[in-house]
Amino acid sequence: MKIVVLDGYALNPGDLSWTPLQELGECVIYDRTPSEDVLARAADAEILLTNKTEITAAHMAALPALRYVGVLATGYNVVDIAAARERGIVVTNIPAYSTTSVAQMVFAHILNITMQVGYHSELVRAGKWTTCEDFSFAATPLLELTGRKLGIVGLGATGFMTARIALSFGMKVWAYTSKLRLQLPPEIKKMELDQLFRECDIVSLHCPLTDDTRELVNAERLALMKPTAILINTSRGGVVDEQALADALNGGQIYAAGLDVLSTEPPRADNPLLTARNCFITPHIAWATLAARQRLMTIMTDNVRAFLAGKPENNVAKTS
């Protein structure tokens, strides 16, 4: 059984072991694979593992030995699922491996924005505290979370974990979700999308990128938000109209944004959010804690093992 990992570096830059996967067959691991090299590297492979390297219908047609594609992420839009289904190729993903880490990043951004941790640390390094007349100084407003409204768009595993953390801070939690009210705990209230943007102090996005959610956060919706409001996005960059968000931040229409994702990654140098006022961006790292990547590695290996045993798990290409 030949196994080829096309782009393993993001999952394992060297601090994890590939040994459990290597025990399952002949295994070739590439850190990164340009699109023009996919066919050469995947030749004769029965199992392909990919993170962001696209596997198209043309690739599948040219790889007659291919029986399985494992996506090293939760989202699987890098694989042509219809073509895989037509050819009987199993496609698996890695669900819910980073739930805790992503929710943690949501609050890393919220706490950085409300308490301006990074900014004040920079001021201390610059000597502003040593020359201060008082024992304490605050260069920006500092905001307490207790009693503030958090609006969550998408109440899946990560959205729900974010809600739990918010409740522990004494926040009030509202959610835009397809779940029925009876499915929600009493401390999480259901709210329509525009009302959520209008009333909440912080809006956190936890929805997948689909035709319905693309640029869900647009100029019209941003105009509904309070001038003191904060937007957090750890879901997908394409959910936000980036020019509209930059304009809202620069014009003081909303207070701040904390983003871990952008529409194009790595971003173009002219992305307007890179220079927008009060816009704090991390480079798509919410998923990448050591613990989350270890879970990903374990589930990935379990997925392959289950496939080899004839009982595929997490198969996103199954017909029913």
Mind listing the pLDDT tens digit for each residue in 238-288? 999 999 999 999 999 999 999 999 999 999 999 999 999 999 999 999 999
Which pLDDT belongs to residue 278? Answer: 97
SS3 state of residue 91 = strand
Q: Stretch 114-127: mean pLDDT, rounded?
A: 96
In a domain, 318, yes or no: no
Q: Residues 253, 228: contact at Cβ < 8 Å? A: no
Domain co-membership, 88 together with 115: no
Which H or E run includes 153? strand 149-153
Calculate mean pLDDT across residues 98-116. Answer: 97
314 in any annotated domain = no
Residue 215: left (phi > 0), alpha (psi -120 to 50), or beta? Answer: left
107 and 256 housed in the same domain:
yes
Q: Domain span at residue 261?
A: 99-281
Query: What digits encode the pLDDT tens for the residues 24-59?
Result: 999 999 999 999 999 999 999 999 999 999 999 999
**17 has pLDDT over 70:** yes
Q: Please tell me the chain's helix, strand, coil percentages from 3-state DSSP, rounded to the nearest 5.
A: 35, 15, 50
Q: Is 313 a known active-site residue?
A: no
The answer to whether residues 198 and 269 belong to one domain is yes
Query: 118 and 253 share a domain?
Result: yes
In a domain, residue 313? The reply is: no
| 32 given a catalytic annotation | no
Residues 128 and 262 in one domain: yes
**Domain assignment of residue 316, yes or no:** no
How many residues are listed for the chain in this entry? 320
Which of 206, 236, 293, 295 is catalytic? The answer is 236
- Residue 195 in any domain: the answer is yes
Q: Is residue 165 part of a domain?
A: yes
305 in active site: no
What's the whole-model pTM score? 0.92
Residue 75's pLDDT is what? Answer: 87
One domain, residues 226 and 243 = yes
pLDDT, residue 125, reads 97
Give the span between the Cα atoms of 258 and 249, in whole angstroms: 11
User: How large a percentage of the chain has pLDDT more than 70?
Assistant: 100
Same domain? For 90 and 170 the reply is: no
Q: Give residue-wise pLDDT tens across range 219-243.
A: 999 999 999 999 999 999 999 999 9
Catalytic residue among 187, 265, 268, 277: 265
**pLDDT reported for residue 175:** 97
Q: Which residues contact 113 (CB under 8 A, 6 or more apart)?
A: 143, 230, 255, 256, 258, 278, 280
Catalytic, out of 41, 87, 214, 284? 284
* 122: its two tokens: 């920079």
175: its two tokens: 């959610």
Which has more pLDDT, 106 or 182? 106
The domain that holds 175 is classified in CATH as 3.40.50.720
Do both 243 and 181 map to the same domain? Answer: yes
Is 167 within the bounds of a domain? yes
**Number of domains forming the structure of the chain:** 2
Task: Please state, in angstroms and as integers, the Cα–Cα distance from residue 140 to each residue in 112, 116, 118, 230, following that order.
Answer: 12, 7, 12, 15
Q: If 0-12 CB within 10 Å is exposed, 13-18 middle and 19+ buried, where does residue 138 land?
A: exposed
Please tell me whether residues 89 and 105 are part of one structural domain: no
Mean pLDDT of 154-163: 96
103, 250: one domain: yes
How much is the average pLDDT of 299-312? 97
**Token duo for residue 66:** 């291919």
pLDDT at 320 over 90: no
Instruction: Count other Cβ atoms within 10 Å, centred on residue 202.
Output: 26
115 and 80 together in one domain: no
Same domain, 105 and 115: yes
- pLDDT bucket at 318, cuts 50 / 70 / 90: confident
* Any domain includes 319: no
Share of the chain above pLDDT 90, in %: 96
Give 190's strand partners: 175
